[in-house]
């Protein structure tokens, strides 16, 4: 006998693989596909579950793969909605972005590392290989293990833009894809340093994962400081479409921007936006 899976189990499996393994027989005519940012995907999945409950017959497929995938799929029509965790670029003016929350990008280290903050110059020196041990920045006599994001990830683009670096400048020991990979890598290495979504890192730290978020320019890396606008590395979490969205896509985007999901946004440690 073949095993039976619930639709929700299949949705979770689809996010994990970044591919659509969903049998067409489970979908009704009202199907919506979102692809892109791994930062947004967990929030989008929770919003999708709630939207489905309120709209019987609607089925929503959420797949990650990075913001570049969200842009490409929205343009090609492979997805009705792309998920992009940064502002759109001038050359992406063919797309329309709707922000559903705000997030920040924070440097993280292992919880045992006593370093609380790094200057911009120190960060640049670490990521370009000019500083190689934590002792050189006032920490323990331990080698620094640099964790960088892979091409196509918006977190990488935000990081490079802020520190005025090119990806070819980076001297990394580890290259990772999504936020969870970055967090697991640093949590397993007392000498590690990486940069990830503040929302994701704050959630993991609250669950006991042994990481610590570093201050930036004297501002704590926290959801509260992203909300005030003081944290230097903040970004919008966008749903993007090309051309006029379908009626179903528009309903979902409007719902994702409404007060009806503020509790979900806050549970994911992101910052809610005032309704427009």
CA–CA distances in Å: residue 32 to residues 173, 181, 219, 253: 39, 27, 39, 11
Whether 137 and 47 map to the same domain: the answer is no
Give me the torsion for CA of 83, 109, 263, 177, rounded to 10°: 20
Residue 275 belongs to a domain: no
Whether 113 and 224 map to the same domain: the answer is yes
Give every CB contact of residue 271 below 8 A, 6+ residues apart in sequence: 101, 102, 103, 223, 226, 227, 265
What's the CA angle centered on 83, arms 221 and 97, to 5 degrees? 95
* Domain of residue 108, CATH code: 3.40.190.10
pLDDT in tens, 105-132: 999 999 999 999 999 999 999 999 999 9
What mean pLDDT comes out for the span 142-163?
93
Residue 252 belongs to a domain: yes
Q: Quote the domain boundaries for residue 244.
A: 7-102+236-267
CA–CA distances in Å: residue 203 to residues 149, 168, 238, 258: 20, 31, 20, 22
Give every CB contact of residue 163 below 8 A, 6+ residues apart in sequence: 120, 123, 124, 127
Whether 220 and 111 map to the same domain: the answer is yes
Alpha helices in 115-153 (DSSP H): 120-127
Choose among 240, 230, 199: nearest CA to 89. 240
Whole-model pTM: value is 0.81
Whether 206 and 131 map to the same domain: the answer is yes
CA–CA distances in Å: residue 1 to residues 4, 9, 13: 9, 18, 21
Whether 62 and 174 map to the same domain: the answer is no
Residue 153 belongs to a domain: yes
Whether 137 and 247 map to the same domain: the answer is no
Confidence of residue 177 (pLDDT cuts 50, 70, 90): confident
pLDDT in tens, 209-228: 999 999 998 999 999 999 99
Choose among 181, 208, 210: nearest CA to 197. 181
What mean pLDDT comes out for the span 236-248?
97
In whole angstroms, give the CA distance from residue 137 to residue 127: 13
Reduced 3-state DSSP string for 163-221: HCCCHHHCCCCEEECCHHHHHHHHHCCCCEEEEEEHHHHHHHHHCCCCEEECEECCECC
Whether 58 and 135 map to the same domain: the answer is no
Whether 79 and 164 map to the same domain: the answer is no
Residue 218 belongs to a domain: yes
Residue 273 belongs to a domain: no
pLDDT for the residue numbered 29:
53
21: pLDDT strictly greater than 70: no
Number of domains in the chain: 2
Confidence of residue 274 (pLDDT cuts 50, 70, 90): confident
Q: Tokens 């659509």: give the residue.
A: 20
Residue 193 belongs to a domain: yes
Whether 33 and 86 map to the same domain: the answer is yes
Residue 2 belongs to a domain: no
In whole angstroms, give the CA distance from residue 193 to residue 187: 9
Q: Are the C-beta atoms of residues 260 and 183 closer than 8 Å to each other?
A: no
């Amino acid at each position: 006998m073949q095993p039976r899976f619930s639709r929700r189990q299949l949705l979770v499996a689809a996010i994990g693989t970044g591919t659509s393994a969903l049998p067409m027989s489970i979908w009704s005519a009202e199907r919506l596909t979102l692809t892109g940012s791994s930062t947004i995907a967990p929030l989008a999945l929770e919003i999708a579950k709630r939207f489905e409950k309120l709209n019987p017959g609607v089925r929503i497929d959420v797949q990650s793969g990075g913001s570049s995938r969200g842009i490409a799929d929205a343009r090609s029509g492979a997805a009705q909605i792309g998920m992009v965790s940064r502002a759109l670029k001038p050359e992406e003016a063919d797309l329309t972005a709707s922000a559903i929350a705000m997030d920040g990008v924070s440097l993280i280290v292992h919880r045992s590392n006593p370093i609380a903050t790094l200057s911009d110059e120190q960060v640049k020196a670490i990521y370009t290989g000019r500083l190689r041990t934590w002792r050189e920045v006032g920490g323990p006599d331990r080698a620094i293990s640099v964790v960088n994001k892979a091409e196509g990830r918006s977190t990488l683009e935000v990081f490079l833009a802020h520190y005025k670096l090119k990806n070819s400048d980076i001297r990394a020991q580890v290259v990772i894809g999504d936020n969870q990979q970055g967090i697991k890598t640093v949590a397993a290495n007392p000498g590690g340093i990486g940069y990830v979504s503040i929302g994701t890192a704050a959630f993991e730290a609250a669950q006991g994962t042994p990481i610590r978020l570093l201050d930036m320019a004297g501002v704590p890396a926290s959801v509260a400081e992203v909300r005030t606008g003081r944290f230097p590395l903040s970004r919008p979490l966008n749903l993007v479409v090309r051309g006029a969205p379908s009626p179903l896509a528009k309903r979902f985007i409007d719902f994702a921007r409404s007060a009806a999901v503020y509790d979900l946004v806050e549970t994911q440690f992101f910052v809610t936006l005032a309704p427009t």
